[in-house]
Amino acid sequence: MSDSAYREQIMDHYRNPRNKGHLDNFSFKHTESNPLCGDELEIEVKVDGGAISDIKFSGKGCSISQASASMLTEFVKNKKITEVNELTREDIIEMLGIPIGPVRVKCAVLSLVALKNGIRELEEVKNG
């Protein structure tokens, strides 16, 4: 895909976010904020049999943070928690498909940080 096609895809996810909203019931939720701008992103996740069966996000932020949350939530649905834990910031940047400067990296990975920290807290509760 060309740079402009990736940019278009980002704007499409920003304007028509997938999985934006709230779940009626969830296994965990977690909020993270971007320290550079104060924007907050919350994710709610339902886990069934070790996999993510449903996920929604809410909050506000720039086009990069909202588009990456939309793309990430689509990507992780029905994936195993073990697979999700292996996702890295490079995976997110690759998903976005455009060069991301150092300041915007925090925007790009906000949803991944929220998801992984939420999973870690859930596992800590389970493991006592």
- Check residue 65 for interaction with ligand FES (CB under 6 A): yes
In the complex, what is the shortest distance from the CB of residue 103 to ligand FES, in angstroms, rounded to a whole number? 8
Scanning residues 70 to 89, which ones bind ligand FES (CB under 6 A)? none
* 19/34 with CB nearer ligand FES: 34
- Interface pattern 24-63 for ligand FES (x via CB under 6 A): ----------x--x-x---------------------xx-
Half-sphere exposure of 73 (CA within 13 A, CB side): 27
Instruction: Find residue 57's DSSP bridge partners.
Output: 20, 43
CA distance 107 to 99: 13
H helix or E strand, kind and range, residue 59? strand 51-59
CA distance 51 to 119: 11
Residues binding ligand FES (CB under 6 A):
34, 37, 39, 61-62, 64-65, 107, 110
